[in-house]
Structure 1
């Protein structure tokens, strides 16, 4: 669950232009499909909150036009959340205004918006899993070590693993 949600968070953050706190504040019903007169999708929008330059701590409503991979990441995050909800609390039903990224819940505990500290944990867990996967792939196909390492290995920084942050 955590690597999948982290991947969704990364795709949305990297390809939308949103800041970390803006991604963390997204709601399940944030995705809008804008269609033409023939019902073909012409663009994707995310409706959320923008915080930069706002005195109000809740931010202001904002619409971001995004590419299709961002829309797919939002849909994937919703499906992952729905699966977790079925496993943990089969009696609850999600609402469009529920957070898209929430902390892992146990039955009877209310939803919480993903905090900066929790999203940092998601990102670092994802990096750890990518490195682990790259090492496993190299072990299975040593002749392909060069291309696998070039594509998937995240090198250390000064001998230590990178400490990724949303900023």
Structure 2
């Protein structure tokens, strides 16, 4: 399950050793690192539709994501609706399941079907999302019909 702590950071990889076959999009190899634990969000290495977790200590193919904002400048994310795709699983986007998080929303990559209400907030006054900027995510609760921040529900990271 995705358990994002209340404080999050974003790191954009700028590694010259990345193979040329990898995407050249500015937000094509993004890593999310918890400000609280230092752990990274990770897609399930065993399953393309497995739970997202905040438990990785180092960068892997499963800790990098591509960010998409349909109809906006692909090189300048300032906040708003977002689709997040694990770079290891193309065409799979973050989506939620109500029963996956002990009564809370849990997140997993779903094939060609990302959450249509997922939002990203860049926690700075102006400018585009850059390396080490802090971000928050929110989504829409279909039961309470209200927005909520995607956080660590119990303070426990698996």
Q: Same fold (TM over 0.5)?
A: no
More helix by share: 1
Of structures 1 and 2, the larger Rg is shown by 1
Larger strand proportion, structure 1 or 2? 2
